[in-house]
Amino acid sequence: MNTPAYPALRLRRTRMTAWSRAMVAETRLDPSDLIWPLFVTEGEEEAPIASMPGVSRWPVEQIADRAKEARDAGIPCLALFPNTPPPLRSDKGDEALNPDNLMCRAIGAIKDALGHDIGILTDVALDPYTAHGQDGLVNRDGEVVNDDTVSVLVEQALNQAQAGADIIAPSDMMDGRVGAIRAALEDDGYTNVQIMAYAAKYASAFYGPFRDAVGSGGLLKGDKKTYQMDPANAEEALREVALDLAEGADSVMVKPGLAYLDIVAKVKARFDVPVFAYQVSGEYAMIEAAAAAGAGDREALVLETLLAFKRAGVSGVLTYHALDAARLLGS
């Protein structure tokens, strides 16, 4: 057998120096790839979230300052989530429709301060407002009912659009909600309000810290498996995406993130649309715990995982690390 004296090709050659690695890099991460989720609370004080070290709920009075920090770091969009005071939670989640609720006041505060300088994405689902912690209306058998829930979600979306939301992001996983919301937005003249559908949202164990943050965790009985997707399925995610696009979604989201990058890649390969991913609360907590335990360098872990999303094909990532990451990338 003839063994060549040298490898015909040395892939290490282009890796030898930083300038060369930069030249052949296939993927780049930029602050404009990041969407920063922010939690809003009543009261005057910043409220740290124990299960998400480094993340707080912010009073409405301070939310515009966070928005300015994001804008200054090059982040194009915020995602807002309210921690509704327990007395305002009800079986039907009526507080979601209050034009003066926490979300609407937070949207107003940011828009007053920054106008069109930053986008605001709002979550459509009833879980921060219901006394039972489910995303929709529950019937006597404990079942989350689809069509009546969609009617309420449409009203919730209109309430957010009226307050100034730029992107409506239904995260409830009811059937038919994107079409219903799109039609209502058109009817009411919100033709330029976008819809980012949480199209492939899985029933995941990674949402725990978020449910602490919005205060729905302790209330939730049972699980969300009758509406959120089974982690076993990928083909079904493509059907969800196809439906949401047909119903008028401008972009789609895959959630959670890291454990579902195969879904991101499949969606991107099949559909020529902007695809986003949500690196969720449990993923944030996992990275923070690893770094705190000395199992990895925090900044490196953050940037590597975010880059992986880009490599898989996303247009952007919702991440609680957005401000830190944007500042690291900008410096």
Nearest CA-CA partner of 277 in 251, 306, 253: 253
The structure tokens listed for 231 are: 């982690």
127 binds ligand PBG (CB under 6 A): yes
- Which residues have a Cβ under 8 Å from the Cβ of 104 and sit 6 or more positions away? 98, 159, 160, 162, 163
Instruction: Considering the complex, state which of residue 81 and residue 190 has its C-beta at the smaller distance from ligand PBG.
Output: 81
- Bridge partners of residue 167, in order along the sequence: 121, 194
Q: Number of C-alpha atoms within 13 angstroms, CB side, residue 51?
A: 15
In 3-state terms, what secondary structure has residue 319? strand
92 noted as active-site residue: no
Tell me how many helices (H) and strands (E) the chain has: 11, 10
- Smallest separation, CB 135 to ligand PBG (Å): 5
281 binds ligand PBG (CB under 6 A): yes
Instruction: Considering the complex, state which of residue 96 and residue 109 has its C-beta at the smaller distance from ligand PBG.
Output: 96
210 binds ligand PBG (CB under 6 A): yes
DSSP for residue 230? P
Residue nearest to ligand PBG (CB): 210
Question: 240 among the known binding-site residues?
Answer: yes
- Smallest separation, CB 221 to ligand PBG (Å): 13
Which of 18-26, 91-99, 100-108, 207-215 is the region at the interface with ligand PBG (rule: CB under 6 A)? Answer: 207-215
Spatial separation of the C-alpha atoms in residues 179 and 149, rounded to whole Å: 14
Active site residue: 111, 224, 255, 268, which one? 255
- Smallest separation, CB 72 to ligand PBG (Å): 24
Instruction: Considering the complex, state which of residue 214 and residue 329 has its C-beta at the smaller distance from ligand PBG.
Output: 214
Angle at 70 between CA 100 and CA 85, to 5 degrees: 30
- Smallest separation, CB 198 to ligand PBG (Å): 7
Radius of gyration of the chain (CA): 21
Pairing outcome for strands 119-124 and 77-83: parallel
Q: Which of 165, 280, 287, 322 binds ligand PBG (CB under 6 A)?
A: 280
- Hey, what amino acid is at 178? V
- Bridge partners of residue 276, in order along the sequence: 253, 316
The structure tokens listed for 8 are: 């015909």
255 noted as active-site residue: yes
Q: Is 109 within 8 Å of 61 (Cβ atoms)? A: yes
User: Alpha helices, DSSP H only, in the chain?
Assistant: 18-24, 60-72, 102-114, 146-163, 177-187, 208-214, 235-246, 261-270, 281-292, 298-312, 322-330
Which of 23-31, 119-127, 138-146, 179-187 is the region at the interface with ligand PBG (rule: CB under 6 A)? Answer: 119-127
How far is the CA of 21 from the CAs of 11, 257, 277, in angstroms?
11, 26, 26
Q: Which of 95, 135, 244, 247 binds ligand PBG (CB under 6 A)?
A: 135
- Smallest separation, CB 69 to ligand PBG (Å): 20
Which of 22-30, 110-118, 120-128, 304-312 is the region at the interface with ligand PBG (rule: CB under 6 A)? Answer: 120-128
Q: Which of 171, 251, 305, 319 binds ligand PBG (CB under 6 A)?
A: 171
Interface mask toward ligand PBG for 211-250; x: CB under 6 A: x------------x--------------------------
Q: Per CB under 6 A, which of residues 290..329 are in contact with ligand PBG?
A: none
Summarize the annotated binding site as residue ranges.
Answer: 240
Active site residues: 201, 255
Summarize the annotated binding site for Mg(2+) as residue ranges.
Answer: 240
> Which residues here bind ligand PBG, judged by CB under 6 A?
123, 125, 127, 135, 171, 207, 210-211, 224, 280-281
